[in-house]
């Protein structure tokens, strides 16, 4: 999902009992009543927060509006004027998709106020941002929040590991899951260049001694023996990958060398790298090539685990590449699907 804000997100809403408005500095002591309660934060922060941490939590929600163009609202009770929590749109950079979040001080639990606030945000979002694919991402042990999500019409879509525990993704009514598509990608286009540059920065950070020419350039990815694929989530280019077909040489069978598999950090954890790998492998199979090879590195445990799950085994250096203390070479015998 793009970080660009949909036009027309209002900064103030009202429901029967609540005003949903921007945060002001004087709201932080009231919010601290929530964040200092370990029962309230058991499935989010995992502990009670200090006053300074509560202030920073408020600042992050207020700042979310600046960075994303939308964000959580302070919940003000119409009768008492008390700030009782926060509800609104929320999309940290490690979240799978934009969500509706909620946080309510324990003194106000059991009165239907959280569900009232969430329904107000749902109605607003359907009017102002119908293409924003809204979820709620909830720790699988947080039964109270799961009950609330179901009560407002959200439905369980998937469960995944996040921050060392199981979390569940609930899709809000009126929003379809974003479609995932794979197709050939021009390595010279702006979106592809941005992905390749992000991949280059990651490799430079992990392997400072790695020569830049070790990574396939846009020119190399444009060659006729290379298939360069992109994976899109909705209209967003989320990742890329390539396979170079290497002809038989000196009695060695032809093989495919997989390169440049990269998924944007905010899109990881959804199986996009696996989809790319499977499509690249299928291209080799369709061309009668029965061996795929690749090089990764010792500082990429997630990549090593993925390749192992897909059936890759360690081997000697690939092609003209030279072995060093950080490189890991792997290969897989490909079998046509029956």
Q: What is the pLDDT of residue 12?
A: 97
Grouping H, G, I as helix, E, B as strand and the rest as coil, residue 31 is helix
pLDDT at 1: 40
Residue ranges of the alpha helices (H) in 110-241? Answer: 113-128, 143-151, 190-206, 218-221
pLDDT computed for residue 338 by the predictor: 54
Q: What whole-number distance in Å separates Cα of residue 178 and Cα of residue 235?
A: 9
Over residues 170-177, mean pLDDT:
83
pLDDT in tens, 6-32: 668 999 999 999 999 999 999 999 999
Say if residue 251's pLDDT is above 80. no
pLDDT of 333 above 80: yes
Q: Which pLDDT value is given to residue 239?
A: 95
Q: Which CATH class is domain 180-333?
A: alpha beta
Lowest mean pLDDT among 69-73, 107-111, 333-337: 333-337
- Give the pLDDT confidence score for residue 3 in this predicted structure: 42
- Quote helix, strand, coil % in the chain, to nearest 5: 30, 30, 40
pLDDT of residue 47: 96
Report the chain's mean pLDDT, rounded to a whole number.
91
Mean pLDDT on 31-51: 96
pLDDT score, position 8: 82
* Cβ neighbours of 88 (radius 10 Å): 26
Residues 156-166 pLDDT 10s: 988 888 888 99
pTM over 0.85: no
Q: What is the Cα–Cα distance from 299 to 297, expressed in whole angstroms?
A: 5
Give the tokens for residue 299. 């500082």
Q: Are 168 and 147 in contact (CB under 8 A)?
A: no
- Asked whether 28 and 38 are in contact (CB, 8 A), the reply is no
- Distance of alpha carbon 298 from alpha carbon 241, whole angstroms: 20
Instruction: Kindly tell me if the per-residue pLDDT of 2 is higher than 50.
Output: no
**For the residues 33-43, what does the mean pLDDT come to?**
96
DSSP letter for 200, please: H
- Dihedral-angle region of residue 260 (phi above 0 means left; psi in -120 to 50 means alpha; beta otherwise): left
Q: Edge-to-edge, what's the strand order for the sheet holding 99-104?
A: 13-14, 18-21, 72-77, 83-90, 99-104, 135-139, 165-171, 155-162
Across residues 62-70, what is the average pLDDT?
Answer: 95
Separation of alpha carbons 159 and 324, rounded Å: 39
CA distances to 4, 50, 301, 316, 327 from 322, in Å: 43, 52, 21, 9, 9
Confidence band, pLDDT 50/70/90 cuts, at residue 79:
very high
Query: For the chain, what percent of residues have pLDDT higher than 90?
Result: 78
Q: What is the pLDDT of residue 235?
A: 79
Non-local CB neighbours of 281 within 8 Å, separated by 6+ positions: 243, 256, 292, 332, 334
Question: Alpha helix (H) ranges present in 76-139?
Answer: 113-128
pLDDT tens string 125-167:
999 988 888 999 999 999 999 999 999 999 998 888 888 899 9
**320 — pLDDT class (breaks 50, 70, 90):** low
259-309, pLDDT tens digit by residue? 999 999 878 877 899 999 999 999 999 999 999 999 999 999 999 999 999
Residue with tokens 């995992």, as numbered in its chain: 46
Rounded distance between C-alpha atoms, residue 247 and residue 103, angstroms: 59
- Residues 6 or more apart whose CB falls under 8 angstroms from that of 324 comprise none
Domains 13-171 and 180-333 agree in fold: yes
Domain boundaries, the chain: 13-171, 180-333
CATH number at 13-171? 3.40.630.30
């Amino acid at each position: 999902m793009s970080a660009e804000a949909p036009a027309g997100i209002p900064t103030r809403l009202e429901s029967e009992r609540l005003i949903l408005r921007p945060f002001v500095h004087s709201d932080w002591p009231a919010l601290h009543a929530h964040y200092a309660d370990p029962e309230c934060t058991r499935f989010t922060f995992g502990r009670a927060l200090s006053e300074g941490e509560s202030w920073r939590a408020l600042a992050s929600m207020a700042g979310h509006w600046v960075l994303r163009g939308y964000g959580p609202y302070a919940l003000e009770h119409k009768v008492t004027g008390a700030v009782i929590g926060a509800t609104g749109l929320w999309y940290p950079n490690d979240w799978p998709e934009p969500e509706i979040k909620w946080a309510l001080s324990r003194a106000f639990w059991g009165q239907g106020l959280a569900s009232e606030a969430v329904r107000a945000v749902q109605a607003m979002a359907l009017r102002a941002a119908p293409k924003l694919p809204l979820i709620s991402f909830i720790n699988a042990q947080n039964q109270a929040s799961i009950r609330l999500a179901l009560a407002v019409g959200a439905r369980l879509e998937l469960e995944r590991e996040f921050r060392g525990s199981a979390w569940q993704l609930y899709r809000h009514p009126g929003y379809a899951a974003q479609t995932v598509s794979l197709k050939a990608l021009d390595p010279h286009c702006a979106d592809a260049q941005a992905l390749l540059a992000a991949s280059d920065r990651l490799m430079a950070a992990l392997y400072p001694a790695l020569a830049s020419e070790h990574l396939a350039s846009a020119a190399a990815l444009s060659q006729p023996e290379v298939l360069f694929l992109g994976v899109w989530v909705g209209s967003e280019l989320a990742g890329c990958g390539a396979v170079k077909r290497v002809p038989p040489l000196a009695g060695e069978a032809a093989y495919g060398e997989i390169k440049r598999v990269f998924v944007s950090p905010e899109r990881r954890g959804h199986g996009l790298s696996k989809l790319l790998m499977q499509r690249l492998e299928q291209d080799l199979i369709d061309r009668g090539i029965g061996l795929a090879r690749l090089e990764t590195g010792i500082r990429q445990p997630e990549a090593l685990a993925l390749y192992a799950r897909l059936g890759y085994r360690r081997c000697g250096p690939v092609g003209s590449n030279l072995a060093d203390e950080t490189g890991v070479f792997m290969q897989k015998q490909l079998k046509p699907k029956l």
